[in-house]
Structures are given as structure tokens and as C-alpha cells.
Amino acid sequence: MRRLIRASGGIAGLALFAAPAHAVDASKRFSGPVISSAFYAGAHGGSSLMVDTLTQSDNGVPFFTSKLKPHPVFGGLHVGFQRSFGSLMVGLEADVDGLNASASKTVAGTGTTTYNRSITNTYQGSFRSRLGYDFGAVVLYATGGVAVTTLKATSSASTAPANQTSMNLASGWTVGAGAQYMLTTQWAAYTEYRYTDFGNVSVAADGGLNAGSTANHQFVVQSLRVGATYFFR
């Protein structure tokens, strides 16, 4: 968690300086409630804590469980639409993140058999609704929706001649909360926490492990992100 906070803190500084210099001009600072509707786009970055829990089964009988916990940083883009009704803010947002998350470990199996396993995760995306309350220059909001990712998983046994490798498209749900600060009528900075559960991904053996062997992955992600957003008013 310390690594997550430190990495996100550094990116927070970059996000704030990414806006044009006039964005922090006090004469142009935005202090009233957002009363109009607007499309927006921006960039963001942050740090994640991922947990992939693997349960390896042989003909339906689990014979080992292990966890991998990569801690990647990521960067991405987001677009959306926001509308305010008095102090109530509602909106829709889509984002995509690029990352290079990977981890591996060796675990003991039955007898003298050992198992090597690894995962790689290169992108994530989501489509969410947002609901918040406008305090003037600051909007506090909750968000939730669907999320998708790709998960490459590899398992091999010391007694088997080949790997069991799969590339899976996983979908799940994501929820979170954040704070958006209006620097001007068009520029905003924000920070956001999200929890994402991609559910269970089952992979049947492809010859690398015993016939009837199944790998079941449960993949969850916690992320802290910061970003800069431009509103097309």
C-alpha cells in the first residue's frame, strides 16, 4: 500500500502541472457550481495492487492454491459526459489503461512435483456511471460499472513436457469514489480509488499438465489514480 500511495503521489504532481499555466490563474479560477452539461477528455495515471488467486484442480479435485501480487504503475486516457442539476452531478465515463504487470512463483505440488506459474496483464478498461455532489470548486463522487481486461496465465509442472498457457478476456465490475477539483471552467484535476473484480477465469489443460487439469483464476485489482481533465464547454 505504501508503494501505491508513493507512486500515485508522484503522478499527482505531474497531473497538476500538465494543465496549461493559465489554468491556475486566480482570475480564471472556477468557484461556482457546474450548471451546464459538457463532454470531456483527459489523461490519468496511478498505481495498482493486483491479486491473482489460482486454484489448480485435477478432475475437479483441487490440489494446490497460490497467489500472485504484482504492483504495477499504469497510465491511460478517459472520455465522458457530465451534467449538473443544481448541486447534483451525473455522468458517464469510459477509460482505458496501459500497464505492464507481471509476476511469477514456484509452488510445491504432490510428491516431488513443483509447479511454476506466471501472469501478465497489459491493459484494462471500464465503462461507468458517476454520481456526485458539487460543493463549488470540488465535486465528491461515486462511480461504478463494468470492466474488462486481458490476463495471460502460464502454468507448468516439473513432470510435464510443456506449459499450459492461455490468453483470456475477462470481464467484471468496478466501483470507487473520488474528488474532482475545478481549476478553471474548463480544466479539472481529480483523484480516485477503485476496486475491480474480474471474477473467475477457468482454463482447461492443453497438454502441458495432466489431462483433466483445470486452472481457475480469481483476479481482483485495487487502484489509486490521479488525472487531468479538459471540459469542452
Query: Where residue 27 sits, what CATH number does that domain have?
Result: 2.40.160.20
- With a CB cutoff of 8 Å and minimum separation 6, the contacts of 105 are 66, 68, 116, 117, 118
- CA 136 – CA 230 distance, rounded (Å): 17
Q: For residue 48, give the C-alpha cell.
A: 495498482
Q: How confident is the model at residue 224 (pLDDT cuts 50, 70, 90)?
A: very high
Query: For residues 82 and 94, what is the distance between their CA atoms, to the nearest angstrom?
Result: 12
Q: Which of 202, 196, 197 is nearest to 217 (CA)?
A: 202
The number of domains in the chain is 1
Mean per-residue pLDDT, 25-45: 68
- Centre a 10 Å sphere on the Cβ of residue 74 and count the other Cβ atoms it contains: 23
Does residue 159 surpass a pLDDT of 70?
Answer: no
Identify the weakest region by mean pLDDT among 23-27, 28-32, 121-125: 23-27
Give the span between the Cα atoms of 217 and 201, in whole angstroms.
5
Q: How far apart are CA 4 and CA 49, in angstroms?
A: 7
- Taking 80 as the threshold, does the pLDDT of residue 30 lie above it? no
**Confidence (pLDDT) at 217:** 78
Separation CA 185–CA 164 (nearest Å): 53
Q: Are 116 and 155 in contact (CB under 8 A)?
A: yes
Residue 91 domain boundaries:
2-232
Q: Which has the minimum average pLDDT: 18-27, 57-66, 89-98, 187-196? A: 18-27
115 DSSP assignment: E
pTM of the predicted structure, to 2 decimals: 0.77
Question: Distance (Å, rounded) from C-alpha 199 to C-alpha 67?
Answer: 15
Paired strand residues for 13: none
Q: For residue 58, what pLDDT band results from cuts at 50, 70 and 90?
A: low
Q: What is the mean pLDDT of residues 128-156?
A: 91
76: left (phi over 0), alpha (psi -120 to 50) or beta: beta
| 42 touches 93 (CB < 8 A) | no
Residue 103: CB partners within 8 Å, gap ≥ 6? 52, 68, 69, 70, 118, 119
